Amino acid sequence: MDTKATTSVAAPLDRIDEAIVDVLRHQGRITYEKLSTLVHLTPRPCLERVRKLERRGVIRGYGAIIDLQQVSPGLSLLVLVALSNQSGRSAQRAFEATVRACPQVYECQLISGHFDYSLRMRCRDMEHYRVLTETWMNNDELHIDKLVAHPELAAVKSTAAQL
């Protein structure tokens, strides 16, 4: 791995790169022909810029926006997790490995404040959630102090675009 590339700060995006990113954020399946028209480039330089953005890691991938309720009916939850104060970095690593391996967790962020992590989960029902999180609470390696679940009542706004 090239450590110089990973530790140096990348040059900021110019206005054309920003325009490309903005279009692709909302229309990931757009043709290069249409994209080039929208960002005022010819197709070849547009394709080269997209490839450069992919190599730099600005564009990490492409995907579909999935209606999870149709694919996997059940309960969506926002779960806040606090590890014990004396848990240390090994508990964080163990917790992060656990949630990475858990198919019910589809997002996990390390946060600041009274809680350490924010999870987005999808479970069949509250019993499924209870059994799953009980196994986490009983795992001494994780040092979980508190779990607070907030079931999702309705999606008011949902977007795949990352700011």
Domain boundary assignment for the chain: 14-65, 68-151
> How many angstroms separate the Cα of 115 from the Cα of each of 44, 79, 96, 142?
48, 10, 14, 14
- The C-alpha atoms of residue 151 and residue 76 are separated, in whole angstroms, by 6
- The C-alpha atoms of residue 162 and residue 63 are separated, in whole angstroms, by 13
pLDDT digits (tens, 9 = 90+) for 134-162: 999 999 999 999 999 999 998 888 765 44
Q: Which of 46, 41, 39, 9 is nearest to 22 (CA)?
A: 39
pLDDT digits (tens, 9 = 90+) for 121-136: 999 999 999 999 999 9
Sign of the alpha-carbon dihedral angle for 117, 53, 47, 16 = positive
pTM of this prediction exceeds 0.75? no
- Amino acid identity of residue 1, one-letter, is M
Whether the pLDDT of residue 9 is over 70: the answer is: no
Give the percent of the chain with pLDDT over 90.
Answer: 71
Architecture of domain 14-65: Orthogonal Bundle (1.10)
85: its two tokens: 């104060």
Q: Which of 140, 135, 141, 143 is nearest to 85 (CA)?
A: 143
| Helix intervals (H) in 13-125 | 15-26, 32-38, 43-56, 68-71, 88-101
According to DSSP, the β-strands at 144-151 and 105-110 are unpaired
CATH code for the part of the protein at 68-151: 3.30.70.920
Assess whether the region 14-65 and the region 68-151 belong to the same CATH fold: no
